[in-house]
Structure 1
Amino acid sequence: MVGAGLAGLVAAARLSAHGLSVTVLEAADKVGGRMAEQEHDGYRLDHGTHLLNTAYPELRRTLGLGGPEDLELRPLSPDVMVHSDGRRYRVGAPTSARAAFGAARAPIGRPWDRARLGANLARLAATPVDRLLARPERTTADALRERGIPAATVDGFLRPLLTALLSDPALGTSSRVADLVLRGYARGGLCLPARGVGAVPLAVAERLPAGTVRLGVRVTAIAANGVETERHGRFGCRAVVVATDARSAGELLPGLHQPAHHPVTTYYHVAETSPVAEPVLVLDATPGALVSHTLVLSDVHRSYAPSGALVASTVLGRAAETHTTEAEAEAGKAAEPEVRRSLARLYDTDTSGWRFLTVRHFADALPAMPPPHVFRRPVRVLHGLYVCGDHRGTSTVQGALTSGRRAADALLRDLGLLRSPATTPDELAA
């Protein structure tokens, strides 16, 4: 196994459960890939692209994860807070009475438009995945316009929400993906583990046999019967699974599909007290806004911050691209004052006393999913050589989990240890 991100760990766990001896080689000094646990001065840093949803079927299906005994999932508020034109209002899924009341007062169209929004979300929640995938595919922006959804509803709620969940302000993502994301939002609830999102890959890694994962081992070349490493020689094997990010996988497997990516930068501040005192996702619906969304992580769980309130704020697209390396992102203080001013407006509070903690940047944070989007890219390259990761399905935790299971199952079938694919209709839920 090359790579100890979430998909690779899931694949390793499934193979180990079928009696195979597995070695996972990871170049970094910790497991998790882009979800790896990160701390700074005792503060737990969850990146702005990672939110879990209780509707992800793969959380429980893959390894029984998702219960409080495993991840200690902490729910976010069932509704979101949107800032637009100097106003803040709450909107959310139809399952929340508070959100329904907030939507009735929100400036997102006429009264019947707001009622129609709730009805549409409820209908999406009840629609089977296969029916959503049978819909005509276009960009999300085009689909919302062609469906006759009022601009006030799109710009006042759907666009900022989808921007936060897809990291795609232009809404160029496949409409089928967006429908699945909204379906999950309406069916489940946004949440984070009490110990940070890095607890997800750690929970998977802890179920592997001792010695399975080897950190600090960089793979430089692969074949179906082994891999070459930078300083640790050759590892022979019966099969290889490449479970890295898309760019690294393409370097090891030339010709592999390379998606475009959405760059994401997350700024972290410490306030003396929380500006909202609840774990609510705050969205900026202002056209051209610098900050896409922000969340007080310490309101999700106190352990995120040893003192004060830890605020994570996400910048997308062009503004994020001004930092071209991780080092520049860490040192990139130039945009921080503007981010701070944006937060003062979003939270309607004085942020001048907030302490700037740090900033994390990922140029390749999330693989883009424009139409036509392939929900199940092949995970079998040839007998003995496989690939998995969120770039083989959907750019979500659900997508990474599913791709890891698919790659493991393909290998097990080739070895004659699995007779049929373990698939379910909802495995494509985004």
Structure 2
Amino acid sequence: MGDHTDQRRGSRSDVIVIGAGLAGLACATDLCAAGRTVQVLEASDGVGGRMRTDRRDGFLLDRGFQVFNTSYPQVKQRLRLPELRLCPFTPGVLVHGATGRRRFTDPTRRPGAAKDLLPGRLASGRDLLALSVLSARDLFGPVSAIRRGADRTTRTALADAGISDELTETFLRPFLAGVFLDDDLETSSRFFHLVWRGMLRGTQCLPAAGIGAVPGRLAERLPPGTVRPGTPVEALTDTGVLLADGTERAAGAVVVATGPAAAARLLPGLEVPATRTVTTYYHAMPSAESPLREPALLIDERRRLLNTCVLSEVAPSYAPAGRALVSTSVLGADVPGREITLLSDLAEVYGTNTASWQPVSTYTIEGALPVMTPPWPLTRRAGQGAGRYVCGDHRATGSVQGALASGARAAREVLRDTFGPGPELS
């Protein structure tokens, strides 16, 4: 008993943050900037949560395919983008369909591809006009108009914008399924418009060192010793937290910055959304001969997969010299025989023989994104009473922006409720 008391006294902090994903790191950064002492307790062996990168046999393997968007306000505020050595994707996407491969792109970014947008090649003139009007509103209109707008399903919003079922089924549904992990376009239209706005305003990239470099940079800004990896929390207590090893840590406030399932376990009664699962397969080719000679995202009109790309074309650092690395994501968990079927589908999509493609790794990410059906609140309060708070993308939107903004909101509420007026956050 005396040992536990000594540990509680020796490790007391102003705030304990449970989870070192993007939300937890953002929350801790803002609290530290306000002069508070913070411990970030992370159950796993490193920072990032679902945003981590493994290195295996010279390959960089993100834990599930992810794309980094440069336009998010929280990203601009918190990160020095040149430090990430960002490698851009080709603007737009390639669509594999019954008539071959077509390119859907923003002609303002790639004027040479404007011929692909001639009426009849990808869509009718009426569809192109409707999509252009929708895009102009999202690109140039105030974000407040999106936030205040009626929330419907994305499918309903596209139909109301005058976009035909044909264009929705051949391009928008296959493309957005990979963004939302939602094959039926049931996702909140507010979130769709925010994401579409971000895509139009920003550049889709990957850090040269893998997607894990993003939380890595955030963690580097924290005071040394703030993040404690390998420290799982068993429960919250009246004075702080109980660790899985039976010891306790005390704090004036506790912020639960985990995924929804863990948050519900630590905060009984917390309402959390359902989540979606995705599986990403990595394949290497025995030579550097790439099946796609550009850093483009490729989608399938038949929706046999969410998306696929040659990662080593986007960022050569993802594969060792003389090799090429392909990433392919599908909805749901991995099941026996699925990879064999997938390789057959990829042979058709890429127009090449995949018999020599070598499996590198498979990642099934449960709880990859919250299910965001309308009406979906774009932000939720963090406070849960008695010095307890919660944040994460499930409390905002399923995106980098949502996770960071939720962490920032939790920090503001902690400072307001627990410590009163303090230094102004940047």
Q: Does TM, scored on the shorter chain, surpass 0.5? A: yes
Shift of 1:419: 8.1
CA contact (8 A) 1:7 1:390 kept: yes
Shift of 1:95: 2.8
Trace 1:27-42 onto structure 2 (pairs within 5 A). 27-42=43-58
Aligned-pair identity in percent equals 43
TM superposition shift of 1:94: 4.6
Q: Does residue 336 of the first structure (1) align with residue 349 of the second (2)? A: no
Runs of 5+ unmatched residues, structure 1: 324-331, 423-430
Q: Distance in 1 between matches of 2:182 and 2:291?
A: 27
C-alpha root-mean-square deviation of aligned residues, in Å?
1.9
Corresponding residue for 1:173? 187
Deviation, 1:74, is 1.5
**Aligned counterpart, 1:349:** 352
**2:113 equivalent to 1:109:** no
Correspondences of 1:359-398 after superposition (within 5 Å) = 359-398=362-401
- Give the total of aligned pairs: 405
Among 187, 190, 207, the residue aligned to 1:193: 207
1:92 aligns with 2:105: yes
Distance in 2 (CA, whole Å) between partners of 1:47 and 1:268 is: 10
Partner of 1:22: 38
TM-score for the superposition, normalised by structure 2:
0.90
- Name which of structure 1's ranges 114-123 and 249-258 shifts more when overlaid on structure 2: 114-123
2:93 match: 80
Q: C-alpha separation between the residues in 2 aligned to 1:103 and 1:368?
A: 33
Contact 2:382–2:413 (CA under 8 A) maintained in structure 1: yes
| 1:82 and 1:282 in contact (8 A); partners too | yes
Aligned partner of 1:165: which letter?
V
Deviating more after overlay: 120-129 vs 229-238: 120-129
Give the 3-state SS of the residue equivalent to 1:24 in structure 2. strand
Equivalent pair of 1:54/1:66 in contact (CA under 8 Å): no
Which of 264-273 and 47-56 deviates more? 47-56
Deviation at 1:174? 0.8
Residue in 1 that maps onto 2:328: 313
Partner AA of 1:146 in structure 2:
D
| Alpha carbons 2:255, 2:389 under 8 Å: kept | yes
In structure 1, distance between residues paired with 2:394 and 2:107: 31
**Equivalent residue for 2:405?**
402
**CA positional deviation for 1:47:** 4.1
Q: Does structure 2 conserve the Cα–Cα contact (< 8 Å) formed by 1:226 and 1:236? A: yes
Single out whichever of 174-183 and 377-386 deviates more from structure 2.
377-386
Equivalent residues in 2 for 1:264-275, closer than 5 Å: 264-271=278-285, 272=287, 273-275=289-291
Residue 53 of structure 2: SS of its match in structure 1? Answer: coil
Q: How far is the alpha carbon of 1:223 from its aligned partner?
A: 3.5
Residues 322 and 336 of structure 1: is their aligned pair in 2 closer, same or farther, counting only changes over 3 Å? closer
Write the distance in 2 (CA, Å) between the matches of 1:21 and 1:359: 39
Gaps of 5+ in 2: 1-16
Match among 298, 304, 314 for residue 312 of structure 2: 298
Residue from 218, 239, 245 that aligns with 2:259: 245
Distance 1:158 1:91, change over 3 A: same
Over residues 358-395 of structure 1, what are the superposed CA-to-partner deviations in whole Å (9 max), with x where a residue is unaligned?
A: 11001211111000101111111125211111001000
Question: 8 Å contact 2:275–2:371 — kept in the other structure?
Answer: yes
Q: TM-score, normalised by structure 1?
A: 0.90
Residue 417 of structure 1: how far off its partner (Å): 3.7
Aligned partners of 2:380 and 2:425: how far apart in 1?
15
Task: State the shift of 1:128 in Å.
Answer: 1.3
**Distance 1:5-1:53 versus aligned 2 partners, 3 A rule:** same
Q: Is the 8 A contact 2:63 2:363 kept in 1?
A: yes
Partners of 1:208 and 1:389 lie apart in 2 by 19
What CA distance in whole angstroms lies between the structure 2 residues aligned with 1:306 and 1:420?
Answer: 46
Q: Which structure would you say has the larger Rg?
A: 2
- Is the 1:38–1:45 Cα contact (8 Å) retained in structure 2? yes
Change (3 A) 1:84 1:377: same
| Alpha-carbon distance, 1:107 to partner | 4.0
1:231 corresponds to = 245
